[in-house]
């Protein structure tokens, strides 16, 4: 099976089952498709695909970093990949920056069946990082250039608190990421390169799930308080006993949630109200 596709001159790596009705996993900044390794190992309920964004994992770095390493450009690339592979009835499952990419790509995908977003907050116009993120000494690492191994390890420990077994792997991915990807993304924050994602989610009418880790040291969990999201699955943001990367930290629980949402989004599950009781019994 082909695992590479050239889009706008950039060789993009992807992995998975290329079928109708796939869940497309989108990784966060300085990560790659391997962040969804446990999903590919454990989930058999639906076809899946994961890709490495430019400058991450096995995908090639961008020759023009300023034009490529930002959310709208990533979203356009994702839409192109979906069209090239002739995928239909997809669910986008986005982590951190990957979730922002999913939001901005959604408007360009009429056949989209739902958004499954985690460890993220949507951008507003103007960008309000101080409201979106928790204050902390390591936030700057996510938008910094070249890091020393010790710094990458510190950032990994911040993203995966209490998960020593995974920290070394995460630190290696951070070090392997094109440093221009972080620097150019940081520069894009002040260049009006974002859509008003908060308004887009308010108006989104297809199935929408949002998950947050209660130990997440990056995302401000109160940012979305009081925001009316008309299509929010379970009518609430789901809080997990995890940090910033729940698909790696609590894969069994995360996978069950993805499977339940997939069934709901593709119309093979009962209503929110009918599901709410078993959901609470299972997870709380």
| Tens-place pLDDT, residues 227-245 | 999 999 999 999 999 999 9
Which residues, including other chains, have CB under 8 Å from residue 149's CB and lie 6 or more apart?
A: 171, 175
Q: What is the pLDDT of residue 264?
A: 97
- Lowest mean pLDDT segment, chosen from 30-34, 129-133, 189-193: 189-193
Which percentage of the chain shows pLDDT scores above 70?
93
Q: What angle do CA 56, 62, 65 make, to 5 degrees?
A: 105
Q: What is the CATH number of domain 4-134+192-283?
A: 3.40.50.1820
Q: What is the pLDDT of residue 276?
A: 34
The CA distance from 149 to 4, in Å, is: 29
If you ran DSSP here, which 8-state letter would residue 120 be given?
Answer: -
Q: What is the pLDDT of residue 274?
A: 39
Provide the edge-to-edge strand list for the sheet that holds 4-7.
4-7, 10-16, 48-51, 23-26, 91-95, 114-118, 208-213, 238-240
Report, as an integer, the average pLDDT of 207-228. Answer: 94
The CA distance from 179 to 207, in Å, is: 35
If you ran DSSP here, which 8-state letter would residue 20 be given?
Answer: T
Mean pLDDT for all residues in the chain: 90
pLDDT, tens digit (0-9, with 9 covering 90-100), for 74-88: 999 999 999 999 999
Q: What is the pLDDT of residue 2?
A: 62
Report, as an integer, the average pLDDT of 119-142. Answer: 85
Give 234 or 277, the one with higher predicted confidence: 234
Q: Say what the pTM is.
A: 0.92
């Amino acid at each position: 099976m082909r695992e590479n596709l050239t889009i706008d001159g950039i060789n993009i790596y992807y992995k998975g089952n290329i079928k109708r009705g796939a869940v497309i996993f989108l990784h966060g900044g300085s990560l790659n498709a391997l962040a969804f390794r446990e999903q590919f190992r454990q989930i058999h309920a639906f076809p899946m695909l994961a890709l490495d964004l430019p400058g991450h994992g096995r995908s090639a770095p961008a020759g023009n970093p300023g034009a490529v390493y930002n959310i709208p450009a990533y979203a356009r690339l994702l839409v192109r990949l979906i069209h090239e592979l002739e995928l239909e009835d997809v669910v986008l499952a986005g982590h951190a920056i990957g979730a922002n990419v999913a939001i901005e790509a959604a408007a360009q995908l009429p056949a989209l069946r739902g958004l499954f977003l985690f460890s993220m907050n949507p951008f507003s116009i103007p960008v309000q990082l101080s409201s979106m993120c928790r204050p902390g000494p390591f936030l700057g690492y996510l938008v910094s250039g070249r890091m020393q191994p010790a710094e990458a390890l510190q950032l990994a420990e911040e993203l995966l608190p209490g998960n020593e077994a995974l920290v070394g792997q995460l630190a290696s991915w951070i070090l392997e990421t094109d440093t221009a990807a972080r620097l150019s993304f940081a520069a894009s924050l002040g260049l009006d390169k974002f859509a008003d994602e908060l308004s887009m989610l308010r108006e989104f009418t297809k199935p929408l799930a949002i998950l947050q880790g209660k130990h997440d040291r990056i995302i401000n969990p109160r940012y979305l308080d009081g925001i009316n999201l008309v299509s929010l699955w379970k009518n609430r943001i789901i809080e997990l006993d995890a940090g910033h990367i729940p698909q790696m930290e609590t894969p069994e629980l995360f996978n069950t949630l993805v499977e339940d949402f997939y069934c709901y989004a593709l119309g093979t599950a009962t209503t929110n109200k009918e599901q709410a009781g078993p959901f609470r019994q299972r997870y709380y």
